[in-house]
Structure 1
Amino acid sequence: MDRTALVTILVDLIIVLKQGREPATVIKAALPRALVPYYPIAGRIVEPAPVHRRSPTPETACGSWASVDCGLKDVNSLEHPLVLSKEELLSFAPPEVNEEESIFMLQVCVHFACGGFAVGIRFSHTVFDGLGAGQFLKAAAEIARGHARLPVEPVWCREAIPTPPKLSQGHPPSVAFCFETSVFDIPLDHVSMVKNQQCSTFNVVTTVAWQCLTRAIGLQPHVDVHLGFAANARHLQRQLLPQEDFYGNCVRLPHNLCLFM
């Protein structure tokens, strides 16, 4: 996937913690040490010829922090919708830098009067998925706590994953993402009303929410509605990735994935 323009996006992540002693100083000291075993993250994506091949070269970013005269409760703990603007919380590359080349940017963006703080993170989906980014962040957190050893040893070995023929020939799939953010609060008693022993909570919530959406937009009866969602596929790649500590992308694009209403 990193050889196509399919996932050349920066994923925005805001982590809110209720307390921390000198978080900016601690995180700034821990990150360089975490980047030693996770060396590909300390890079920048470049475009050698041919264009569809991508590789990282060293460079990363770590920002500073600011304090505000309010507590986390005053900003709803930064739940969606954000009371503070995203531009205030996330780190952005300077004008002379192409953000698509960036792999990882972090800043301890806000220190609240209550002792809590927020960390704004942007990571490239070209290099790793959510689980991989979480593994790296957990490693940095363990180092910040003073642990001498990482919780897991990172595994890169992306060369073990075969490239589909169309990608190796420079023909990226024609897939585009357009995200809309919606927040639903579904009480557990509502889930229990339609759940049975053969059905998981995920299945219930996904199906009912999708039924409501398709009905609300007035689709014609018997129209096939496609549903896509992110899932960990590492357990399906054991022959290629024998270790569980792989932190790169592990994504498969499904074909003809439908949910019939």
Structure 2
Amino acid sequence: MVRPSKPTPPGTLNLSVIDRVIQLQFYITALFVFRDGNENSANIIKEALSKALVPYYPLAGRLQDTEDDDDDNGEGLHISCTGEGVWFVEASANYSLADLNYLDEAPQGTQEKLIPDPFPAESMNLKPIMLIQVTSFKCGGFVTAVAHNHCTCDGIGIYQFLSALGEFVRGLERPSVEPLWSREIFPSPPRRELKAPQPPLIPQYQLSYASMDFSADKIDHIKRDCSDFTSKACTTFEVLTAGLWRSRTRAINMHPSLNVKLIFFANIRRFLNPPAPRGFYGNCIFPVTIVVSSGWLVEAPLAEVVKLVQEAKAKLQAQYNKWMFNEGDDEVELIEEPFTAQLDYATLLVSYGKT
């Protein structure tokens, strides 16, 4: 267990109304491949991690649920700043990264071996918020796997932490961006009855891994074509998501009258009043949901699907205000309780990030 290198403030920290959404109470993992390293790479990262956990001390704590809270919506969830630390695993592999093509289209099961094993604890309040594994390869390179409980950070937030970790690895004394907890930027919304307060059931599908590459030239070509139709610039996310959704819907061959659904999470930092401050690393996301008939989607030109995605993004602030404050334009309707959508076979959930 890696603990903060200096004493950190004790006490408890509240999570925001979005942090506490029960659908975000799971571990999410990212893998980072480094072609060059040395025999001390793991120790260097471990020392830097200990330093990074001083300004980011909440991540060295433990999640706690208020014992007398009988609500199942996670509203008693908070962080106890115990300073117990991050679960850190060192491992080695008798392969070179080239043998695994630097994890591009690596054999099935390879990535799972690079992810830290779950911490041996049944209760949530005994599990670390973050787990890290550094696996050294015989070529001198290494892979760092970082798993964290999503209820503490969104993608932008964990990237901010990892950037700070990299700065400590390079010898900086302080991170260039000072972390801010600031969960009070989200007000407590009016209590209202949720349509589906329990987490959605996820069917036990037989899943397989697939990797697809799209060249920058191809993406730029599609963006130009779609921009002519939408009369506005198209992003890489918009064209790839629209194309993937349409192609998948064609492949699963549902009855044309049945509805299909697209869900993706969008950053809402700029929609807060005032906007989220620089350094905030909590969850600041809101799901965008689009529902159309299968028949329409399989026949629609790609540019029309892209425009549909753009229009849904344009409604994001109004949708968020409707959910958070139960106020706003009467014409704005939530398709469903946003964070409790059912993940059935007709639903495509897209997660997107870039570094």
The normalised TM-score by structure 2 is 0.64
Q: 1 CA distance for matches of 2:178 and 2:201?
A: 32
Q: Are 2:88 and 1:63 equivalent residues in the alignment? A: yes
Unaligned runs of 5+ in 2: 1-17, 298-355
Give me the identity figure in percent: 33
Deviation at residue 154 of structure 1 after TM alignment:
0.6
Deviation at residue 35 of structure 1 after TM alignment:
0.8
Q: 1 CA distance for matches of 2:45 and 2:282?
A: 23
Q: Are 2:277 and 1:258 equivalent residues in the alignment? A: no
Task: Output the amino acid matched with 2:238.
Answer: N
Deviation at residue 106 of structure 1 after TM alignment:
0.8
Match of 1:176 in 2: 200
Match of 1:202 in 2: 237
Name the Cα RMSD after superposition: 2.8
Q: 2 CA distance for matches of 1:220 and 1:231?
A: 30
Quick one: structure 1 residues 177 and 202, their matched pair in 2 at CA, closer, same or farther if it must change by over 3 Å? farther
Larger radius of gyration: 2
Specify the SS of the correspondent of 1:202: helix
| Count of matched residue positions in the alignment of Structure 1 and Structure 2 | 257
Match of 1:25 in 2: 43
Match of 1:141 in 2: 166
Q: Are 2:266 and 1:249 equivalent residues in the alignment? A: no
Match of 1:102 in 2: 128
The normalised TM-score by structure 1 is 0.85
The correspondence of residues 191-230 of structure 1 with structure 2, limited to 5 A, is 191-192=219-220, 194-195=222-223, 196=225, 197=227, 198=232, 199-221=234-256, 223-230=258-265
Specify the SS of the correspondent of 1:212: helix
Deviations 1:151-193 (A, max 9, x none): 20111110221233348x8987455385965432234454455
Specify the SS of the correspondent of 1:253: strand
Task: Output the amino acid matched with 2:265.
Answer: A
Match of 1:38 in 2: 56
Unaligned runs of 5+ in 1: none
Structure 1 stretches of 4+ moved >6 Å:
169-172
